[in-house]
Amino acid sequence: MQSLEQVKFILADTLSLGERVKSLGADSGLLGNLPELDSMAVINVISALEEYFGIAFDDDDINAHAFQSLGSLAALVDRKRAQ
C-alpha cells in the first residue's frame, strides 16, 4: 500500500491523535476503535483525503468496510488514485 503512511498522517492531523498515531498500523481498527472517528470526523477525513490526493470518492466508496482499518482506508485511496 503506497498511501498507508500518508493516510496515517492525515488521520492523525484531522483527528488530533497526537502521539497515539505511532501505534497505528495497517491492521489497526478505525471505526469503533478510535473514539474521535464519529460521523462528522468521517466527513472531515474524506474531505482531507480528497484534497491531499486530488481524488474524489463516490458515495458507494464510503462504507464501514472502507473505514474498517487503516489498511482498508489506504487501499481505497490507492484504488482511487489508480483510476
The CATH number of whichever domain residue 34 belongs to comes to 1.10.1200.10
How many beta carbons lie within 10 A of that of residue 54, not counting itself?
Answer: 9
Counts of helices then strands in the chain (DSSP H, E): 3, 0
**7: nearest Cα among 82, 60, 72, 83:** 72
Residue 2: band (very low, low, confident or very high) from pLDDT cuts 50, 70, 90: confident
User: Interhelix angle for 70-82 vs 4-15, to 10°?
Assistant: 120
Question: Which pLDDT value is given to residue 1?
Answer: 56
pTM for this structure?
Answer: 0.93
Q: pLDDT tens for residues 24-67?
A: 999 999 999 999 999 999 999 999 999 999 999 999 999 999 99
Could you give the number of structural domains in the chain?
Answer: 1
* Start-to-end Cα distance in the chain: 15
Question: Which pLDDT value is given to residue 49?
Answer: 98
Domain of residue 36, residue span: 4-82
